């Protein structure tokens, strides 16, 4: 198998989590940058990273990286790259792009130049003047940052947050990748209770169940690179067999979600069925102020309303007051909440122990964590 440099694109703030996921897969040669993690792997690793990474947005193959301050430099250096190593003669290779603080700020022009350069390269290699692009998809991205050009081929197709269980989403949905990151950052363990009192369509509980069962998030979906002749089917088969072997389907889980929105809960139950978790997670319609639990040392992990996309700020703050009262009654629990509302400790009656800047879509938020005591080594559930 050939050595390949892959790039796992991430939302800002999740880079270190994705880097840890990559190391857990056994790939130690990596480099963490803003919004991405570069790592060395091979064809088999390309398959495994697509199937296993919970918090990455997508996986790309890095074809080249260079400095360019003119369109001529962009053209010539793009043309010099070995595109034929990946693009077969019938490849469909659309080009998308982005430019940040670069002299080459016109994204449409950059896309057109990269496309032309690749075509010219393939003309020389294949001896053709026209390419029908009727074969597999090789989506190419040109990314310019401060005059540094990075050229990649996307291997994922749909974003990795598309697990396959959430065809229908409610208003202001939380991405699956961010929900998984929230659970990972909480240090929740499978033998402890997890509760989301603003569960909406159930994304946090479902992602927690995947983590609790050690279920690879991409096990039941397809990826664009599966159709590439460059990646033998045996690598995909092996990666899926590995994921099936590690999937603990019978793991006992104590995961609960509640909300006051009947429509959202209806979607949550549909998503639960699609995820095959009907008997693993329990949803109920319940106001936050009525939330109770007989369990001890649990985790509340939640994405409450911010008063921006849904409802008013006054309504959001009232919900936070109710959440604070509930958390006070759950004496030995931990609370983890994602919000754009500043200084939530005003409502929680406790100073947060940890805060991390994350982005919910394009909205800057903070993930506030209020840690409870560690449970004793003996059985801590009542």
Tell me, yes or no, whether 226 lies in a domain.
no
Is the predicted pLDDT of residue 236 greater than 60, yes or no? yes
Tell me: do 305 and 183 sit in the same domain.
Answer: yes
Mean pLDDT, residues 289-318 taken together: 87
pLDDT tens digits along 192-232:
999 999 999 999 999 999 999 999 999 999 999 999 999 99
Q: Does 382 score more than 90 pLDDT?
A: no
The domain of 25 spans 4-154
Report the distance separating Cα 262 and Cα 259, nearest Å.
8
* Whether 206 contacts 164, CB under 8 Å: no
pLDDT (0 to 100) of residue 379:
54
- In sequence order, what are the beta bridge partners of 4? 41
Mean local confidence (pLDDT), 109-118:
98
Q: Is residue 299 part of a domain?
A: yes
Cα–Cα distances in angstroms (integers) from residue 158 to residues 162, 262, 380, in the given order: 7, 29, 42
75 inside domain: yes
pLDDT at 313: 80
Residue 73 domain-assigned (yes or no): yes
Residues 207, 356 within the same domain: yes
167 inside domain: no
Task: Give the number of domains in the chain.
Answer: 2
- With a CB cutoff of 8 Å and minimum separation 6, the contacts of 373 are 297, 332
Quick one: 136 and 254 in the same domain? no
pLDDT exceeds cutoff 60 at 248: yes
Looking at the fold, whether 278 and 318 belong to one and the same domain comes out as: yes
Answer yes or no: do 208 and 83 share one domain: no
CATH number of the domain within which 90 lies: 3.30.2130.30
Q: Is 225 within a domain?
A: no
13 and 51 inside one domain:
yes
| Burial tier of 130 (Cβ tally within 10 Å: 0-12, 13-18, 19+) | exposed
State percent of the chain over pLDDT 70.
96
Q: How far apart are CA 147 and CA 74, in angstroms?
A: 10
- How far, in whole angstroms, is CA 357 from its chain's centroid? 16
**Would you say residue 83 lies in a domain?**
yes
* pLDDT score of 286: 96
Q: What is the pTM of this model?
A: 0.94
| Tens of pLDDT, residues 9-46 | 999 999 999 999 999 999 999 999 999 999 999 999 99
Judge whether 360 lies within some domain: yes
């Amino acid at each position: 198998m050939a050595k390949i440099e892959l790039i796992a694109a991430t939302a800002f703030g999740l880079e270190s989590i994705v880097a840890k996921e990559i190391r857990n897969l056994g790939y130690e040669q990596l480099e963490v940058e803003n919004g991405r993690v570069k790592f060395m792997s091979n064809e088999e690793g390309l398959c495994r990273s697509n199937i296993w990474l919970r918090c990455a947005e997508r996986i790309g193959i890095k074809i080249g990286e260079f400095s360019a301050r003119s369109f001529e430099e962009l053209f010539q250096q793009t043309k010099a790259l070995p595109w034929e190593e990946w693009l077969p003669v019938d490849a469909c290779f659309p080009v998308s792009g982005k430019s940040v603080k670069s002299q080459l700020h016109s994204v449409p022009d950059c896309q057109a130049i990269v496309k032309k350069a690749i075509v010219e390269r393939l003309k020389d290699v294949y001896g053709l003047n026209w390419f029908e692009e009727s074969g597999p998809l090789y989506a190419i991205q040109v990314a310019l940052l401060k005059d540094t050009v990075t050229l990649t081929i996307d291997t994922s197709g749909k974003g990795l947050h598309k697990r396959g269980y959430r065809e229908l989403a409610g208003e202001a949905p939380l991405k699956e990748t961010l929900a998984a990151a929230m659970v990972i950052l909480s240090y929740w363990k499978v033998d402890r209770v997890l509760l989301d009192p603003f569960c909406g369509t159930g994304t946090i509980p479902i992602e927690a169940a995947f983590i609790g069962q050690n279920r690879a998030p991409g096990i039941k979906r397809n990826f664009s690179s599966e159709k590439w002749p460059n990646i033998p089917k045996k690598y995909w088969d092996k990666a899926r067999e590995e994921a099936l072997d590690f999937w603990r389907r019978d793991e006992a889980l104590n995961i609960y979600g509640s909300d006051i929105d009947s429509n959202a809960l209806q979607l949550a139950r549909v998503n639960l069925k699609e995820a095959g978790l009907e008997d693993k997670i329990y949803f109920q319609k319940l106001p936050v102020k009525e939330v109770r639990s007989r369990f001890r040392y649990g985790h509340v992990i939640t994405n409450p309303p911010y008063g921006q996309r849904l409802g008013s700020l006054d309504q959001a703050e009232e919900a936070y007051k109710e959440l604070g009262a509930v958390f006070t009654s759950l004496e030995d629990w931990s609370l983890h909440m994602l919000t754009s509302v500043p200084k939530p400790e005003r409502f929680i009656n406790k100073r947060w122990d940890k805060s991390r800047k994350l982005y919910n879509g394009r909205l800057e938020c903070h993930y506030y964590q209020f840690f409870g005591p560690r449970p004793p080594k003996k059985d801590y559930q009542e």
